[in-house]
Structure formats: C-alpha cells, structure tokens
Amino acid sequence: MDNILQELKNKIGGAVKENVSLADHTWFKIGGPAKYFFIAKNNDDLVKALKAADELKIDHFILGGGSNILVSDNGYDGLVIKAENKDYKIEGTNVFAESGVLAVDLLEATLKAGLTGWSWAAGLPGTIGGAVRGNAGAYGKGIGDILVSAEVFADGKVKELSNKELKFSYRDSIVKQKGWIVISAKLKLEKGDLKKEQEQVKAYNDRRQQTQPLNYPNAGCVFKNIDLIETPINKEKVMKGLDISEEEFKEATKFNKLPVSYIIDRLDLKGKTIGGAQVSEKHGAFIVNVDHARAEHVIMLMSDIKMHVRNEIGIQLHEEVQLVGF
C-alpha cells in the first residue's frame, strides 16, 4: 500500500479504493481509472475527504450523477470523491437538499409534497450539487431562479453563500469559476397549481424521450448554447453560414440564445463519426458513444465541430461538458 493511500485511509476511513474504473460511474461509459476513489455517504464524509485532499495536497474531483463529464482515457491521477450524500428535507415551501441528491428524485419528492416552481427540471441529469455549480436549467429557467443559498467548501472551510453571492449566470456560478464544492442547497418553491405542474413535468419528460438520444451513452449537451446577451455575433455571417432568413433567425433566437443543436443541424454535422463517437442524429447538441468510444474520439469530434462552427459562422463554441483528467 502506498503512503498516500494509507494517509487517506487514516484521515477519511478504510473505504478508500485504488484504481477504480470511472467509465463505470459516468453516463458516457468512457474513461480510465481513478488513482484513489472514495464514496461520501453524507456531508461529514464529503467535508472530511475534501479536507484530507487539501492537507495531503492531492488533486481531487467530485463525481455526482456522472452526467456532463468526459473522463480522460488515462483516468484521473488523484482522489475522486463520489457524492452519495442524498438526504433532503421539505418544510412548507422550503427545501433543504444535500449535494448528492439527484435532481429528478428531488423534483418527484417536491411534487408529492404539493410544491411547484421547477417543472423544467423534469429529466434533468445529475445532482443538486452539479446543478448549483453549473446553474443547470432548461426552457429559459435555471436553478438560480429557485435557490436561496448553498453551503460550499471554499478555501478549506464550509461557508454559506446567498443566491446573490453565488453570482449565477448562464450555466455558470462563482462555485464553478473558483473550483469550490457544493455541500448542500436551500430552495424556495411555491404552492401552485399541482395538476398543471404534473402535466408540464410529463410533457417535458415526453419531449426529452422524443428528442434526445437516450438509447446511447452520452453526457448531455456537449456545448453551451450561444447567449446573445453576453456574446456579440456577426448576424449577417451567421444567417449566411446557416442559410437562413431573417424570420428564421428570429424564431431560432426567440429566447435570446442561439441553440447549438440548431447550428449543428443547419451545418449538416449530425451523424458525423470519429472512432466510436458520433454527433447524435436525433439531437445535434449531443455526442453519443455508439461503439466503445474512447475519450480521444470525443475530443477529436468536439474539435471538428468547433472548427466548422468557427469557420462557417464566426462563433467560438464553449464546452458545457466538464473535462476530467486531461
């Protein structure tokens, strides 16, 4: 047993493992082994592991539900902490959730409690911690719209940050920018028209089934949509490159975003394949693992898409998927 492993076992318990395949813990089913691997069953476990990693100066990564990440074929040369802290509490319209709770499980629980306000989370992949970190959302809404505060591990200690202090923006937060870790979150929902909310959740789930390639391993949307409020574009170049009219441009950007799936569809990139990785023929914002893809195949395909988009319409795409171990 190496010294670091022994130190980790001493500090956080004997459940630390070596050389655990991360492909088995990710939606993409891609990636090499974690040098060290630990499952945090509660908040205390999570904080203890984070402090141990800091003290031992070991690179560490928090693994939630396994969506929205691509792990290197070489794996991760550090400590992977799998967040399985899944307690939650609902009191009136206030919801407390540990970071390892799956968003879809919490949505189901809040519906059973008669609460409304985040039907957009139907089918949302990943955990509450990941959702807060990346201000996850859909249909023009996001976790920042319902979050009161979050406990985060920052600079060696746990502190509570308000919604304002979290500095949410499109698929971003100060947590993501600083590399901090979400421990738990407090949400504020409402007592609304429950029947209508349940119908909306069903409609969103049905839409995901119909439009997303859920039959293949994937990480969710690979690139961020283009936020037209924050990103200047050459409208004429975009319209020419996508071969669309003024009216089509207005319709595509009606939510002040230019969807990556729309761009990829118009540039005829659906179905493009490198190795075992393919741009989904069903939804262009997804790359799917169709035949034992390696991480290098996905990276090459992402690079190819970015090059086409940059050359054709003058826009630089940015990853929504998190790259781990590269």
| 90-136 pLDDT tens trace | 999 999 999 999 999 999 999 999 999 999 999 888 899 999 999 99
| pLDDT < 70 positions in the chain | 1
Question: Torsion over CA of 226, 260, 179 and 24, rounded to 10 degrees?
Answer: 170
The CATH number that domain 7-83 falls under is 3.30.43.10
What architecture is domain 88-196? 2-Layer Sandwich (3.30)
Other beta carbons within 10 Å of 303: 11
Q: What distance in Å separates the CA atoms of residue 283 and residue 243, rounded to the nearest whole number?
A: 19
The CATH number of domain 214-324 is 3.90.78.10: yes
In the chain, count H helices and then E strands.
Answer: 10, 19
pTM here is 0.89
What are the tokens at 318?
Answer: 């940015």
| pLDDT at residue 275 in the model | 97
Determine the pLDDT at residue 83: 95
Q: Record the tokens describing residue 83, joined without a space.
A: 């967040």
34-77 per-position pLDDT tens digit: 999 999 999 999 999 999 999 999 999 999 989 999 999 999 99
pLDDT for res 1 = 56
Strands 273-274 and 257-258: unpaired
Every domain of the chain and the residues it spans: 7-83, 88-196, 214-324
Q: What is the pLDDT of residue 244?
A: 97
